[in-house]
Amino acid sequence: MIHVLAALGGGGIGYLIGKYMSKAGFGCPLICDPRISTIYFALIGLFLSFK
């Protein structure tokens, strides 16, 4: 259950980062696209939840 919560939390944070970074005009496609950053940060949250 903790893994699902970590992935959802990471995805939510990734979406917010991607949404506001794209408006700021940065050029990194990994962080500035909300679709990509949501998946990326969800995976980071999932991986960090494992011991």
- pLDDT tens digits, one per residue of 3-51: 999 999 999 999 998 888 877 766 677 788 888 999 999 999 999 999 7
Pull the structure tokens for residue 37.
């950053």
pLDDT at 26 (0 to 100): 66
pTM more than 0.75? yes
Residue at 47: amino acid letter: F
Task: Compute the Cα dihedral for 24, 26, 31, 36 and give only its sign.
Answer: positive
- The pLDDT score that the predictor gives to residue 29 is 77
The predicted pLDDT at position 25 comes to: 67
